[in-house]
Amino acid sequence: MAESPRDGRLLQVVARTSIAAVSGVITALAFAPTGLWPLTLVGVVGVLAAQWRVGPGLGALLGFVYGSTFFLVLLSWMTVIGTDAWILLSLYCALWNGALGAITGPLSRLRGSAIWIASGWVVMEALRGRVPLGGFPWGELAFSQGNSPLAPLTGVAGMAGLTFLIVATAAIIIDSIRRRRIRAFAVVAIASVLAVVFIPKPLEFGGSSGTATVAVVQGGTPGTGMDAMSVRRAVLANHVEQTLRLADAVDAGEVAQPDFVLWPENSSDIDPFRDPSAAEEIDIAARAIGVPIVVGVVVQTDDPTKVENTGVVWDPETGPGERYVKNHPVPFGEFVPFRDQLSDLIGRFDRVPRDFVPGTEAGVLDAGGVVIGDVICFEVAYDDVFSAVVDGGAQLITVQTNNATYQGTGQPAQQWDIERLRALQSGRSVAVASTTGVSGIIEPDGTVIAELAEGETGYLVAEVPLRDGQTLSTYLDSLPEYLAALALAAGLVISIYVRRRSSAATVPSDRPLG
C-alpha cells in the first residue's frame, strides 16, 4: 500500500522532533560538568536544521522540545530542591525556545538568514534573562564556552556577541550545505580563528592601577543539600577558624599579608547586627588578620518577614562599614512570588519562611583601599550587575557564593565557567569565595591562578592586577542586544513582506484590468 501524503508529513514531524530533542541534550553536554564546548555548535546546527523553512506552529513545537531536553539536562541539579521545581523551571525556560522557534522557519527563508536567526536567539536570551521577576539567564549559549578558545571574544561584544557568533555560524553551515556552497562558512571560520589569535586577552582600553593581594576563605558547611546551612553557628565558626589559620600563616611568613579577605555568601547566616556573639566572632577574625573581611551576611530588616542577602566590609578596628545588598534575589529560592496563593499548594515553600528583598545600589565597595565590585551567587549570570560595578569604578570583581546546597551536582562547575568568562568580559581579576567550592582567583585574561575544589576547606592568597579601564564589551554594555533587536525586527518585517508578496503572486485576481 502506498504511503499517503498525510503519513509522510507525520513521519517528517516525528523525525524533526526527534532531531530537536537529541539536539537539546547535545547542547547541554557542552556545559559543565561535561564541558564538551564544541557540542554547542553541533546542538544548535541540529535544532536549526530541524526548524529550517518550517511553519510557525511546527517551529514552535520543535523549539519547545529542544528547550525542554536542553534545560532538563542542564538544570538537573535543581532536583536537590525538588523534582517538581526542576521540571517546572525547565519547561518554563523551554517556552522561550518555543517562541524563538515560531519565527525561525520564516526567517530561514530569507537572504541573510544567519543574521536574522542569530539576532532572534540573542533577543530571546536577553528577554529570558530579564522577565518576569528579574529573569533567569542561566543557560545562555555563551556560558558553555568558559574553556573554549572563543571565550576571549566576550571582551569584544559580551555574552550576546558570543551567542550571536555560535548561532550565525550554525545557520551559515545549514544554508551552505543546502546551497552546496561553503564559502560563507569558511569566511566565518577564518575570521573567528584570526580574532582568537590576534585580539588581546582581554581587549581593554585604559591602564592598570597597580596590584592587590587577595585572600579567599572556603570554610565548609556541616552538611550539604537542603540542610547545608542548618547549623548556622558552625558555618560561621568554620570561616573564623580558617581565617585564624591564615593569620598564623601570615605571621609565620608563609603567605603574603592580604589587602583584604573574602568570605562567601552566608558565611554568617546569623545577623551580626542583632547578635553580639556573631559580631564578636567576626571581630576576632578581622583583628587576627589585621585587614578588612568582606563577610556574607543575612541581615534582618525592620519587617520580620523580610531579610537582605548582604556583603559587608568588616574592618578590624571600626567593625562593619560599607555594604552591598544583592540586587537579584532568586525567585522561589530567596523569595516566593504570590506567596499567599502558592503556599497552600506547595508546602515546601515553608522552607523559605522569609523573603529576601533586593538592593538598589551597585556593589562598589572599598575593601582595604581596593575598590571591589561585589557580586553574590547567581548574579554572575546577570550582565547588568557587572556593568554597574565596572561603571562604578570597581578595580576587581569579588563573587560571594554558597554552593553547599548543590555540592556534588553540576551547578558549581557551571557557575565557575561563567566566572571565568566574566573576568575576560570585564577585563578584571575575579576572586570567588564559596562555602564549599568552587573558590578561586582568576586573572583578567581568564587564567586561574588559585583554586579550591568542591569539598575542600582552606584559604587562597594571590597577588592580582587591578584595572580601571574598560573592555569594548563593558563600553558597549547592552548595545549588542539592542542592535540584535533592531535586526530581528527588520527580519520579521521583511519576512511578512515577502510572504504577502508571494501570496499575492500566487492567488489570481478577479479584478478587472484598468
Q: Give the residue numbers annotated as catalytic, written as ranges.
A: 265, 326, 377
3-state DSSP of 451-510? EECCCCCEEEEEEEEEECCEEHHHHHCCHHHHHHHHHHHHHHHHHHHHHHHHHHHHCCCC
From CA 370, how far away is CA 349, in angstroms rounded? 40
- Scored b (16 or more CB within 10 A) or e, 312-328 reads bbbbbeeebebbbbbbb
Residue for grid cell 508571494: 502
Residue 419 CA, distance from chain mean position:
8
Q: At what angle do helices 5-29 and 39-51 cross, to 10 degrees?
A: 160
Tell how strand 396-401 and strand 430-434 pair up: parallel
Catalogue the E-assigned strands of 162-315: 204-205, 208-218, 260-262, 293-300, 306-315
Give the contacts of 431 (CB within 8 A, at least 6 positions apart). 214, 216, 262, 396, 397, 398, 399, 440, 441, 442, 464
The 10 Å Cβ neighbour count of residue 472 is: 18
Phi, psi of 340 (to 5 degrees): -60, -35
Helix (H, G, I), strand (E, B) or coil at 228: coil
Which amino acid makes up residue 93? C
Residues 44, 55 contacting (CB under 8 angstroms): no
Element (H, E) at 356: strand 355-356
Give Cα 483 distance to the centre of its chain.
Answer: 21
Kindly list the distances between the CA atom of residue 316 and the CA atoms of 246, 292, 320, 370, in Å, as whole numbers in the listed order: 15, 6, 9, 16
Residue 257 DSSP one-character state: P
By the 8 A CB rule, do 115 and 123 touch?
Answer: no
Output the nine-digit C-alpha cell for 424: 575576560
Q: Are 221 and 235 in contact (CB under 8 A)?
A: yes
Q: Are strands 260-262 and 208-218 parallel, antiparallel or unpaired?
A: parallel
Question: Within 109-147, where are the H helices?
Answer: 113-128
